[in-house]
Chain A
Amino acid sequence: MKGSGVVVPSPAGRRAGTPPRLPVPRSPLPRLALLFLVVLAVAVADVVAGRAVTPAGVWEVLLGGGDALDRHVVLNLRVPRMLVALVAGACLAVAGLLLQSALRNPLAGPEVTGVTPGAVLGAVVATGFGLADRQSPLAVVIAACLGGLFGAGLLWVLTGRRRDDPTETAVHGVLVSAVLGGLTAMVLLVAPGELGSVVQWLIGTTDGRVWQHWNLLWPWALCWGIAAWLLAGPLTLLRCGEEQAAEAGLDTGRARGAALLCAVALAAGAVSTVGALGFVGLLVPHLALALFGADLRITVPGAALAGAAVVGGADALAQVGGRALAVLWDADRLTLPVGALTTALGAALLLVVVRRSPTRDF
């Protein structure tokens, strides 16, 4: 276990005879900038998509004109919705990346480790028993956070000593998620009157998110996002392995605990605002790792941008698709929740993965 060359990569000696060729580190800035442009484009698309106001009308409003109704729709409904979608996506992606790195488990998304179901349970319990409502959104966030910690803690206790095995953790995570889902169902049965307002957490949707939600979400996301970025260095070490990180002088237990807390807080903030968006926290970190490599100091912001782009794009698509469906079926109340779209995208991706590697034993 000694000196396996973690801190200084040494590709020398792989093939005798060839001179050691140190890889030239490419600057990640162009890629980050490109992704940022994508996020901007997605943001514009998200504001332009949607019914009632034409793109030209949106442009007019943004220039300061437009009539009162258009101004209200764009400035008080669409812009906060877009911002909430972007930040929630970023939160979920970073949370997933932190979880996957801290547990050294490529399958550990917030959905699989009991964090998202726990957060939903917390929010549902707080609302169902009258501890929180629309007037006190902070209570919902805190309840969701506690619930997420409860779910993660349950998994921690259940996996016991064998939590190094990724599949073991994932298997128990699925079971924990099922238990938490059952508990949520029980709460809904005890307080059926709240069902309508509670379903919004079960379905991930950005419909009707206004400045109030945004004002709650961004400070939370900013604090924990900065914390996540500060943790990126230790986590990069932790990804190399427990012993290596300890040898490099890292208190692995504390680093992992801090990362888990940070991940739970980020996921809970996103869940309490937009609900459980399927597959984002599981898949986007893989996308970010593929784009930016394993150095988390760059990948954490990259994952945030990628998550924002994915959820914002899905939101824009959902609005366009919802409009198309409404025209198609002549049903005015038809809307496409963004959670349904991300889930469908994740399912499609899953099918592609299965088809591409038919005989591989996962």
Chain B
Amino acid sequence: MSPRVRPGRPGRPGRKARGAAAVVVTALILGAGVAALCLGTPVVPPTELLGPLTGGGDDPRVAVVVGQLRLPRVVLALLAGACLGAAGLVLQEALRNPLAVPEMLGVSAGAALGVAVPLVLSLSLPALLVPSLALVGAALGGGLTLVAAGFGRSPSAVLLTGAAVTAALQAALLVVMVMADQLSLQIIYRYLLGSLSARTWEHVGGVWPWLVLAVPALVLCAPVLSVLRLGDDDASALGVRVHRARLAALGVVVVLIAPVVAVCGPVAWVGFLAPQIARRLDPTGHAVRWLPWSIAWGAAIVLVADLPARLALAPVETPVGAWTALVGVPVGVLLLRSGRRSGRRSARSAAHPDGHPTSVPAPRIPVGPVPGTGKGKS
């Protein structure tokens, strides 16, 4: 991984860095996958993995542990990471903001509400309905944001509305949490952090059918994203119906993350980190080239983070989201800082003779309401 790719020279160094990155991410996924299958109680040596995986093996207990417990967890980690990585990239590109995270669309808060309400109010529901309630909550949260933001009028409106919807749903969650007893609180809290513990093939089955819907949509909307990045005016001058394209992209994001959040909980910062890494490794690329990288890095991040989540405090499991947040945010800050510095350098070097930088102006994140922006500087 060489972060010092010189901008403005799309020749060999970039390709070399991409090759190295491909090796690194493949090694990470393979190594973490094998480690996740082998480590734990009982420890299965890698040489004996093949037996239990194919259903055979000497010890049926090992076969159950590997095939029914560890393998679905690995698959789910890969799926969740890939979905979050892709969703993060689509969101950041569509809203032109490096800090647009999937958590800000109101999807996670809606899913959390869908988990918490039946748990705390002890509604007697058929067991089949419970996971779909989280899905309904997630879809409602995402849909509410899209409707309230006027179907994707402007990027900052979407972000601010997402923050508002998230805050409102969290307020509702607070009301529920006040009523909860100790046990339900712990379950809700664990869910809120995002956890992969005790997930089986059943849970995997709750995620992958949605991919059938999401993947073709993703492939279709990816090329438009690189045009959207130019800004609304330029994109519409190029013949893109901007509002409709942005709405479609946001819809794809909701379809991508709602099932993941419903099953695993909001695993924090993956959707922020993976696109950042993808962009850093290929600064001259565009959305279509970044998409596979973002997917791969998302999968790698969740898979790697699940190892300490399962093993660090064994036999107690820690939520994987705690690890991604703890490690991910400092890394993300570093990436942002160095990325902006090199970005500024490249903007300066690529500036017009009259001093106007040719690059897209750095998008800014709105944080909180700004009713009196001008008043701050009297």
Decide yes or no: A167 and B167 within 8 Å by CB, A158-B333, A195-B189, A343-B174 being known contacts.
Answer: no
Binds A, one of B10-18, B80-88, B351-359, B368-376: B368-376
Which one, A109, A167, A188, A333, contacts B365 given CB within 8 A? A167
Are B148 and A351 in contact, CB atoms less than 8 angstroms apart? yes
Q: Within 8 Å CB of B377, what residues of A?
A: 104, 239, 241
Decide yes or no: A171 and B365 within 8 Å by CB, A195-B189, A340-B172, A349-B371 being known contacts.
Answer: yes
Q: Within 8 Å CB of A257, what residues of B?
A: none
How far is it, in angstroms, between the C-alpha of A172 and the C-alpha of B364 when the chains are bound? 12
Q: Does A272 make an interface contact (CB < 8 A)?
A: no
Are A343 and B167 in contact, CB atoms less than 8 angstroms apart? yes
Decide yes or no: A354 and B160 within 8 Å by CB, A166-B376, A186-B322, A289-B372 being known contacts.
Answer: yes
Q: Within 8 Å CB of A171, what residues of B?
A: 99, 336, 365, 367
Smallest beta-carbon distance B111→chain A, Å = 17
Smallest beta-carbon distance B95→chain A, Å = 12
How far is it, in angstroms, between the C-alpha of A195 and the C-alpha of B177 when the chains are bound? 11
Q: Mark B170-195, 1 if CB is under 8 A from A, else 0.
A: 11101101110110011001000100
Which one, B149, B150, B367, contacts A107 given CB within 8 A? B367
Q: Within 8 Å CB of A290, what residues of B?
A: 372, 375
In the complex, the chain B residue whose C-beta lies closest to that of A354 is B160
Q: Does B164 make an interface contact (CB < 8 A)?
A: yes
Q: Within 8 Å CB of B189, what residues of A?
A: 185, 188, 195
Are B167 and A350 in contact, CB atoms less than 8 angstroms apart? yes
In the complex, the chain A residue whose C-beta lies closest to that of B367 is A170
How far is it, in angstroms, between the C-alpha of A331 and the C-alpha of B123 when the chains are bound? 13
Q: Within 8 Å CB of A207, what residues of B?
A: 178
Are A282 and B369 in contact, CB atoms less than 8 angstroms apart? yes
Smallest beta-carbon distance A121→chain B, Å = 13
Are A106 and B373 in contact, CB atoms less than 8 angstroms apart? yes
Binds B, one of A44-52, A76-84, A174-182: A174-182
CB within 8 Å: A-B pair count: 179
Are B322 and A100 in contact, CB atoms less than 8 angstroms apart? no
How far is it, in angstroms, between the C-alpha of A224 and the C-alpha of B154 when the chains are bound? 43
Which one, B99, B161, B322, B378, contacts A240 given CB within 8 A? B378
Q: Within 8 Å CB of B149, what residues of A?
A: 354
Q: Within 8 Å CB of A362, what residues of B?
A: 156, 160, 364, 366, 370, 373
Q: Which of A68-106 contact B (CB under 8 A)?
A: 100, 104-106
In the complex, the chain B residue whose C-beta lies closest to that of A282 is B368
Q: Does A37 make an interface contact (CB < 8 A)?
A: no
Are A294 and B364 in contact, CB atoms less than 8 angstroms apart? no
Are A239 and B368 in contact, CB atoms less than 8 angstroms apart? no
Q: Does B326 make an interface contact (CB < 8 A)?
A: yes
Decide yes or no: A353 and B373 within 8 Å by CB, A173-B367, A358-B154 being known contacts.
Answer: no
Interface size on B, residues (CB 8 A): 58
Are B171 and A341 in contact, CB atoms less than 8 angstroms apart? yes
Q: Mark B86-98, 1 if CB is under 8 A from A, else 0.
A: 0000000000000
Which one, B121, B179, B329, contacts A182 given CB within 8 A? B329
Interface size on A, residues (CB 8 A): 71
| Chain A CB within 10 A, most for which of B170, B182, B269, B376 | B376
Are B372 and A353 in contact, CB atoms less than 8 angstroms apart? no
Are A175 and B329 in contact, CB atoms less than 8 angstroms apart? yes
Are B193 and A185 in contact, CB atoms less than 8 angstroms apart? yes
Smallest beta-carbon distance B232→chain A, Å = 9
Q: Does A183 make an interface contact (CB < 8 A)?
A: yes
How far is it, in angstroms, between the C-alpha of A14 and the C-alpha of B375 when the chains are bound? 21
Are B99 and A182 in contact, CB atoms less than 8 angstroms apart? no
Q: Within 8 Å CB of B175, what residues of A?
A: 334, 336-337, 340
How far is it, in angstroms, between the C-alpha of A349 and the C-alpha of B372 when the chains are bound? 13
Q: Does A137 make an interface contact (CB < 8 A)?
A: no
In the complex, the chain B residue whose C-beta lies closest to that of A165 is B364
Which one, A283, A294, A335, contacts B371 given CB within 8 A? A283
How far is it, in angstroms, between the C-alpha of A339 and the C-alpha of B178 when the chains are bound? 11
In the complex, the chain A residue whose C-beta lies closest to that of B180 is A199
Are A347 and B177 in contact, CB atoms less than 8 angstroms apart? no
Are A196 and B171 in contact, CB atoms less than 8 angstroms apart? no
How far is it, in angstroms, between the C-alpha of A75 and the C-alpha of B124 when the chains are bound? 41
Which one, B268, B364, B375, contacts A178 given CB within 8 A? B268
Smallest beta-carbon distance B371→chain A, Å = 5
Smallest beta-carbon distance A256→chain B, Å = 15
Which one, B157, B177, B186, B269, contacts A354 given CB within 8 A? B157
Q: Does A360 make an interface contact (CB < 8 A)?
A: yes
How far is it, in angstroms, between the C-alpha of A358 and the C-alpha of B160 when the chains are bound? 10
In the complex, the chain A residue whose C-beta lies closest to that of B192 is A185
Q: Does B318 make an interface contact (CB < 8 A)?
A: yes
Are A106 and B372 in contact, CB atoms less than 8 angstroms apart? yes
Are B185 and A347 in contact, CB atoms less than 8 angstroms apart? no
How far is it, in angstroms, between the C-alpha of A294 and the C-alpha of B275 when the chains are bound? 42
How far is it, in angstroms, between the C-alpha of A111 and the C-alpha of B163 when the chains are bound? 14
Q: Within 8 Å CB of A104, what residues of B?
A: 376-377
Q: Within 8 Å CB of A166, what residues of B?
A: 376
Are A179 and B329 in contact, CB atoms less than 8 angstroms apart? yes
In the complex, the chain A residue whose C-beta lies closest to that of B377 is A104
Q: Mark A214-233, 1 if CB is under 8 A from B, else 0.
A: 00000000000000000000
Are B369 and A346 in contact, CB atoms less than 8 angstroms apart? yes
Decide yes or no: A182 and B326 within 8 Å by CB, A174-B367, A350-B164 being known contacts.
Answer: yes
Q: Does A116 make an interface contact (CB < 8 A)?
A: no
Q: Which of A304-357 contact B (CB under 8 A)?
A: 331, 333-337, 339-341, 343-344, 346-351, 353-355
13 A-B pairs within 8 Å (CB atoms) are namely: A174-B99, A178-B269, A182-B268, A186-B318, A186-B326, A337-B174, A340-B171, A340-B175, A343-B174, A346-B369, A350-B161, A353-B371, A361-B364
B residues lining the A interface (CB < 8 Å): 99, 121, 148-150, 153-154, 156-157, 160-161, 163-165, 167-168, 170-172, 174-175, 177-179, 181-182, 185-186, 189, 193, 268-269, 316, 318-319, 322, 325-326, 329-330, 332-333, 336-337, 364-373, 375-378
A residues lining the B interface (CB < 8 Å): 100, 104-107, 109, 111-112, 158, 160, 166-167, 170-175, 178-179, 181-183, 185-186, 188-189, 192, 195-196, 199, 202-203, 205, 207, 239-241, 278-279, 282-283, 286, 289-290, 294, 331, 333-337, 339-341, 343-344, 346-351, 353-355, 358-362
